[in-house]
Amino acid sequence: MSSNDYIEKDTDIVIIGAGAAGMMAAHFCSLGGKEVFLLDHNKEVGRKILISGGGKCNFTNLYGSDPKDYYCENPHFVKSALSRYSPWEFIDLIIKNEIPYEQRLHGQLFCKRSAKDINKVLLSQLKKPNIKLLLERKDLQVEKTEDGFKVFNELTVLNTKKLIIATGGLVLPQIGASDFGHVLAKRFGHKIIPMVPALVPFKIDGFSTLAGNAFIAGITCNGHYVAENVLFTHKGLSGPGILKTSLFWHHGDPIEVNWLPGQNIEQILLDTPGSSRVDNILKKFLPNKFVDVFFERICVDGKLNIGRLSKKDRTKIHNELHHMKIIPQGTEGFRKAEVTRGGVCTSKISSKTMESQLCPGLHFIGEVLDVTGQLGGHNFQWCWASAHAVGQALK
């Protein structure tokens, strides 16, 4: 059906949002023969999939997606859906479609060729007579009717008993993200957990001369510890270690950085002849440029020989190298984030069917909900699993 065709119809299921969650839900919901309409205001489906994982889409995680990989006000909410659709079921789909993929660090699975492969698989599942994909359906509105919902715009009037909202979070408004799902949820009485960018770089002053350098550091934030690569940027810090940390960070919180995890600088200094320069010792473990900036930042003369260091400076070097406290000025925002933390509160959503307990027939899946996965394919896994849950309930 072309984007300009007018349609007016009673149907079984309408899904708004043809991203990862919406496309997968259309497939699962169609399996029992029901008619499913999948609507999006974009010209093409799955725009976020195409740019995910650096264009290679980290589509799931081989080590599994565990509830502890998710940030949600109700940590139990994800359990039911995740347990009924494991990463292996998605991997199976990938294998059946002969999509080449590869495993990277920490069990992350990526396409070998391109994220386009994932979109193709999801699109191929939509090619059934009982699924109708309607793109470029802009300014959609929803009205509650006696026995369901009317979804409409100037080209569309669909009356349906079941409505699934899969409109995602607020990240990348430039490619179609909107607060449609949140506004609708609020209208039906759902609480919205405040939305902030997550899996996002931090803005931190004083490191811009190090832009491009990267090494493994240990970062602690609000009781969570991550030891992974940290990348210095012109605006502050990024890299997997920082993106992962941002999931637990709230504005104003300090982060504690161990720039040399697995080592003890005090012991290293004790084991080194007193005539050696302190900065040269550190340069054996860390990039030269970083060491210079480090000593500048902590106001200690790194050119001193170890033997001439005061006890105070020794302690300072140890504390700042292993426990540097930094308060990021902020994050780089929704334009640079991978996901939205917060969203439709899950307290009034059935974890089994994804149905609203305040408005029967209305379902929410994917990132529009207050469910945020850790870096590593867990956000897509949530999309697949929540889509499967709604499909099982409605098909």
Residues that bind ligand FAD (CB under 6 A): 16-22, 40-42, 47-48, 51-53, 57-58, 140, 166-168, 171-172, 176-178, 180, 338-339, 366-367, 377-380, 383
β-bridge pairing 192-198 and 202-203: unpaired
Residue 111's beta-bridge partner residues? 101
Q: Given the complex with ligand FAD, which of 44 and 256 has the nearer CB atom?
A: 44
Task: Please state the closest distance from residue 75 (CB atom) to ligand FAD, in A.
Answer: 18
- Choose among 160, 155, 237: nearest CA to 204: 237
Helix (H, G, I), strand (E, B) or coil at 231: strand
Contact 343, 371 (CB under 8 A): yes
Contact 137, 39 (CB under 8 A): yes
**Region at 204 (left for phi over 0; alpha for psi -120 to 50; beta for the rest):** beta
Q: Given the complex with ligand FAD, which of 86 and 178 has the nearer CB atom?
A: 178
Task: Please state the closest distance from residue 51 (CB atom) to ligand FAD, in A.
Answer: 5
Token duo for residue 393: 């309930």
Token duo for residue 341: 């933390």
Q: Given the complex with ligand FAD, which of 51 and 227 has the nearer CB atom?
A: 51
Task: Please state the closest distance from residue 300 (CB atom) to ligand FAD, in A.
Answer: 39
Contact 320, 358 (CB under 8 A): no
Q: Given the complex with ligand FAD, which of 140 and 306 has the nearer CB atom?
A: 140
Cα 51 to Cα 48, 55, 59, 143, 270: the distances in Å are 5, 5, 12, 33, 49
Q: Given the complex with ligand FAD, which of 47 and 341 has the nearer CB atom?
A: 47
Question: In this chain, which residue has its C-beta nearest to ligand FAD?
Answer: 19
Task: Please state the closest distance from residue 254 (CB atom) to ligand FAD, in A.
Answer: 27
Task: Please state the closest distance from residue 153 (CB atom) to ligand FAD, in A.
Answer: 9
Q: Given the complex with ligand FAD, which of 235 and 322 has the nearer CB atom?
A: 235
Q: Given the complex with ligand FAD, which of 240 and 377 has the nearer CB atom?
A: 377
Task: Please state the closest distance from residue 333 (CB atom) to ligand FAD, in A.
Answer: 12
SS (H, E, C) 293-327: HHHHHHCCCCCCEHHHCCHHHHHHHHHHHHHEEEC
Task: Please state the closest distance from residue 142 (CB atom) to ligand FAD, in A.
Answer: 10
